[in-house]
Amino acid sequence: MTNILAVGNWKMNPVKKKDAENLAKDIKKVAQKYKKVTAVLCPPAPYADVVGGALGRVKNLALGAQDMSWQEKGSRTGHVSPLMLKDLGATYAIIGHSELRELGETDEVINKKIRTALLYGITPIVCIGERERDENGFYLGVIHKQIESALQGVLKKDFSSIIFAYEPIWAIGKSARDAMTPHDLYEMSLYIKKTIAGLSSKTIAMNMRVLYGGSVEGENAGALFEGGDVNGFLIGHASIVPSEFESVLENMTAALKRLEKKE
C-alpha cells in the first residue's frame, strides 16, 4: 500500500500564530519518525504561511487547506483562492467538510471546488458521510449521491487525483469508542469503491484513495487501518495534540507492517 495519509484538520485551533507555529514544529518532529505515512497539516487559513514555513521541505509532510474557493480571484468575501494556496505551497484542500455542508454548502458548490482544485493541481480531499444510519440502508443512498455529484463533469483520468474522506457525521468529535468499527468501515470502503466503479471502471475505483475520519485516535487507528481497507485518516481533535497524533502515526505504521506481512 502506498500513499498513506494522516490528514490533520486543525479546524479553528489554535488561536495564536505562535502556537500554530509551535504545533507545526512539534508535529514535524513526530512525523519524521514515521516516514511511511504522509502527514498533511491543514491549519486555519491565517496560519497557513507560518505553518508551511515551519514544515519546510520534508518528504512526508505537506500543507493543506480546510476549504478553498472555486474561483481564483475577485469579489468573494472571506474566500481563499487556490492561487493563494499554491503560492503558500499548499498541495491539498479539504472540500465539503460536514461542518461546512451544515452551513449550507451544496453538492453543486462542492463539485465546483473539486474541479477548480484539479485545475490548479491541488489534491481535493472530499468529505462524504451520512448524518445517521438507518436499518433500511437509506444512508447508502446519501453516500452514493454525494460521490456521484462530486464526480460530475470530472474527467475519468482525473479520478485518481481525488481523495474521498468518509466521515460519518455521527462519529465526528467524539472518542475512539464512538467511532466506526473496522468491519463497518471495510464494508463502507467497498461500497464507496463499488459506487466509483459504477461511474468509471473497476481499475479506476481500485486506484482511488479513501480515508476515514471521525474520532480517530491512537487507540483505534491501528485496528481501523488494518481492517478498514482505507489509505489513511482525516483526523480532527487528535491532530492538535502532538502525542496523540504520534500515537495515531505509530499505530498506523504498526498496522501497515502487519498488512505487509499478510500480503
Q: Which residues are catalytic?
A: 97, 167
Strand partners, 52: none
Number of residues that bind ligand PGA (CB under 6 A): 13
Per-position DSSP letters for 25-50, written without gaps between them: HHHHHHHTT-TTEEEEEE--GGGHHH
Residues 6+ apart with CB under 8 A from 9: 42, 66, 94, 97, 213, 234, 235, 236, 239
168 binds ligand PGA (CB under 6 A): no
124 binds ligand PGA (CB under 6 A): no
- Residues 171-210 close enough to bind ligand PGA by CB under 6 A: 172-173
To 5 degrees, how large is the angle CA 262–CA 168–CA 141?
100
Minimum CB–partner distance for residue 9 and ligand PGA (Å): 4
Determine contact, residues 83/65, Cβ cutoff 8 Å.
no
246 binds ligand PGA (CB under 6 A): no
Minimum CB–partner distance for residue 29 and ligand PGA (Å): 21
To 5 degrees, how large is the angle CA 198–CA 116–CA 120?
115
Q: Which stretch binds ligand PGA (CB under 6 A): 53-61, 193-201, 224-232, 233-241?
A: 233-241
Q: Which of 30, 42, 234, 252 binds ligand PGA (CB under 6 A)?
A: 234
Strand partners, 2: none
* Residue among 151 and 172 whose Cβ is closer to ligand PGA: 172
* Residue among 213 and 242 whose Cβ is closer to ligand PGA: 213
Task: Give me the residues that bind ligand PGA (CB under 6 A), please.
Answer: 9, 167, 172-173, 213-216, 234-238
